[in-house]
Amino acid sequence: MALCLVVLAQTSVAAEPAPKLTQAGFENYLVKLKQEALSQGFEQALIDKSFANVVFHQRAVKADRNQPEKVETLDTYLPKRLPDWKIKRARAKYKEHQDLLHKIADEYGVQARFIVALWGLETNFGKIMGNYNVISALSTLAYEGRREAFFKRQLWAALKILKDGHIDIADMKGSWAGAMGQNQFMPTSFIAYAVDGDGDGKKDIWGNQADVFASMANYLKKEGWNDELTWGRQVKLPADFDNSLAIPQRTGGRKNWLKAWAKSEKTLAQWQALGVRRTDGTNLPQVDIKAALVFPDGEQGRAYLAYDNYKSLMHWNLSYYFVSSVGHLSDHIKFPPIH
């Protein structure tokens, strides 16, 4: 989802004993939430309508408490995330929407293949957007309490989206965490990045393809995308390579990860001099760009030289595995060329 809810670590963390949550407790909490919404400046009529059908989702709480994926490697993860049928569908969807995609790509300076790759991995090209009432999901997770301030911020942003008329409450569906639409924007990401791609006055990331694609492109553009670069490349390291030159596998959040990036970044010529090569053993490209070195699976796993666009994708989702899947799917869309 387009906000850093996913962490770099692929392993689970011991959880504290969870407080007991009850229907009565949730209903009492809703009274306070509605009062707080009023104090945030939302009108009573909007609040009444938005909260009219709110229910407590125990499944959302369970999902939030059990997020970590089981430990695996890219060698097992990528084939599951990028089966042949998904690659074929990505290429077919690219061809189907080629005119619109190229128009948006030119406007925002974001290659169309990355838009399609994100679309495919977030919601299977708009097919799986989640069926939770977003106000219900966000209210449930705010009540659950572990990240109350975060989910309240999302709730106020969701109310603003409804207030601005971009979607009706009945159609505001999303994931258990409140990620919405074909690109799975959290409500604050919607406020920050969603755009009206076809000029109809609404930002409809649920059903309007121009809005979906333009919003994704706008997100990447605002987070520093450069369409003269790709995302990165898998590389081969010499036997005596100094692994401390790479970004550590776990850095503890985005801020520390960016600091580690700055320490790791070198020109391709510098990496070449250190013995880094393409996976087939040939020389790195002779272009004047910088890259950082990442080990998604640790020092014994795959190694990647990551270009600046990698940082934009890690802003979308702070997960090496997610970014690797986006990058590899985008490469499958590019090669062989689609005519």
> What are 260-302's pLDDT values in tens digits?
999 999 999 999 999 999 999 999 999 999 999 999 999 999 9
In whole angstroms, give the CA distance from residue 231 to residue 21. 43
Tell me the mean pLDDT in the region 57-85: 86
Among candidates 210, 157, 162, which has minimal Cα distance to 185? 157
The pLDDT of residue 201 is 96
Residue 16 has pLDDT above 70, yes or no: no
Longest Cα pair distance anywhere in the chain, in angstroms?
67
Tell me the mean pLDDT in the region 254-264: 96
Of 19 and 149, the one with more pLDDT: 149
pTM recorded for the entire structure: 0.93
The total number of residues shown for the chain amounts to: 339
Tell me the mean pLDDT in the region 117-131: 97
Supply the mean pLDDT for the chain.
93
In whole angstroms, give the CA distance from residue 257 to residue 249. 9
The pLDDT of residue 10 is 40
The pLDDT of residue 63 is 85
Report which residue type is found at 95.
K
Residue 204 has pLDDT above 90, yes or no: yes
Lowest mean pLDDT among 19-28, 161-170, 285-294, 316-325: 19-28
Residue 47 has pLDDT above 70, yes or no: yes
In whole angstroms, give the CA distance from residue 45 to residue 146. 30
Residue 252 has pLDDT above 50, yes or no: yes
Contact 190, 199 (CB under 8 A): no
The pLDDT of residue 224 is 98
CA angle 135, 67, 50 (to 5 degrees): 0
The pLDDT of residue 61 is 87
The pLDDT of residue 59 is 85
Percent of residues, the chain, with pLDDT higher than 70: 93
Contact 254, 314 (CB under 8 A): yes
* Run of H or E residues at 13: none
> What are 220-237's pLDDT values in tens digits?
999 999 999 999 999 999
Residue 2 has pLDDT above 50, yes or no: yes
Contact 211, 204 (CB under 8 A): yes
Bond before 336 cis per omega within 30 degrees? yes
The pLDDT of residue 18 is 57
Token duo for residue 312: 């934009």
Ordered alpha helix ranges (H), the chain: 23-39, 44-51, 58-65, 74-81, 84-96, 98-108, 112-123, 134-144, 148-163, 187-193, 209-222, 254-264, 268-273, 308-316, 320-334
Which residues pair with residue 266 across a beta bridge? 291
